[in-house]
Amino acid sequence: YKDSLIMAQRELVENLSVPIIPITPTICILPLIGAVDLYRTNILEEKVLIEIGKLRIQTLIMDLSGIMEMETEVIDHLMRIIDGTSLMGCTTVITGLRAEVASNMIRLGMRLNEKAQTLGTLQQALNKYLIC
């Protein structure tokens, strides 16, 4: 009984840690808040790719404004997730990238612009994709 309860709670936490919010039939927002470690990026990869296929998402707006810092391995994994979304025909838009994270990416020689569109804020992305 304890094991099944623990597994149910773990699944609930995993679902809450990757809240993909449909905005239109083809556009969804993924707001990330709090600490993002390798465990969470593994969950993120699985859930994002499944939801893109299931919901037929064409544009995924990934808002990172709630993340203070990211380890190098997490940034690298995030880039692989973006590659995966692209392979599935989904455009990823990154918003809210903090200066600390951007600085770390520059230092590592990583470039998001080649893999995803970047905008300063979630509001800019909503204005661009929802107000035609």
Q: Mind listing the pLDDT tens digit for each residue in 36-77? A: 888 888 889 999 999 999 999 999 999 999 887 788 888 889
For the chain, the domain total comes to 1
* Alpha-carbon distances, residue 117 vs 34, 82, 106, 113, 131 (angstroms): 22, 11, 16, 6, 18
Among 120, 74, 114, 81, smallest CA distance to 97 is for: 120
Please count the CA atoms within 13 angstroms of the CA of 13 that sit on its side-chain side. Answer: 8
pLDDT of residue 3: 82
pLDDT of residue 88: 95
pTM listed for this prediction? 0.83
Can you give the residue range of the structural domain that contains 58?
2-130
In angstroms, rounded to a whole number, what is the distance separating the alpha carbons of residues 121 and 66? 11
- pLDDT mean across residues, the chain: 86
Among 121, 38, 117, smallest CA distance to 82 is for: 117
The token pair at 1 is 């009984």
Which CATH number characterizes residue 76's domain?
Answer: 3.30.750.24
pLDDT of residue 82: 93
Residue 14 pLDDT grade (very low, low, confident, very high; cuts 50, 70, 90): low
